[in-house]
Amino acid sequence: MKDLTQKALSKAQAGMEATHGFLSDLPVLGDYQDKERRRDADRRLREGIARHLDGAREQVVEIEHLLLRKGKLTALPYVDVAANRLQVLVDRVRTAARGYRGYFDAETLGEEGLQRLFEFDQRLAAQLPVIDQRIEALRQAVDAGEDYSPPLIALIRAVDELGQRLDHRMEAIHALTNASPLPEKSSSP
């Protein structure tokens, strides 16, 4: 019985592989599957960015608790600004467009456009260490009882800059669907 089941399973797998190979060789379906893999890779990258930013937000909340334990109640609203902006950024990254409107829509990204969008998202991810450094500087200042205003302002600016880069993501999607160049970086105030 086990051999019969194994044979049936092997035949089914071979049939599925042959069907997948045949369907992948069809230009439209094969291209569609490649695009879906690229979109999925971009989605996973954005999910990783969102998880990282959420962890950063949790660290800022821990700093708020530290300030509370130290009796620095007047500092809480300012640190809360950083935590709230991080939360907004997390939500925006999680709900960012995948770079297409649908299979039958005329305005979709080709493989090159999807690759460029993925690279754009990688540049977003490359900014995460800056956020981490700013949070660590804030934590160290609070732990040492020093003036934490400069690292807090630097953190808020870094979060805002990342938000501006995310604003350019939709512009990038539109530019890619119209074969225009991607915006490289945001303008800082």
What does the domain layout of the chain look like in residue ranges?
Answer: 32-177
**pLDDT at residue 105, as a whole number:** 43
Q: How far apart are CA 113 and CA 189, in angstroms?
A: 29
Q: How far apart are CA 35 and CA 24, in angstroms?
A: 12
Longest dimension (CA), the chain: 75
pLDDT digits over 131-141, tens only? 999 999 999 99
pLDDT digits over 54-105, tens only? 999 999 999 999 999 988 888 889 999 999 999 999 999 888 766 544 443 4
Query: What is the three-class DSSP state of 164?
Result: helix
Q: How far apart are CA 136 and CA 155, in angstroms?
A: 10
Q: Top-level CATH class of 32-177? A: mainly alpha
**pLDDT at residue 45, as a whole number:** 85
Q: Smallest Cα–Cα separation from 171: which of 155, 189, 187?
A: 187
**Looking up tokens 């569609």, which residue turns up?**
32
pLDDT digits over 121-166, tens only? 888 889 999 999 999 999 999 999 999 999 999 999 999 999 998 8
Is the sign of the CA dihedral 124, 125, 126, 132 positive or negative?
Answer: positive
Structure tokens belonging to residue 97: 């467009």
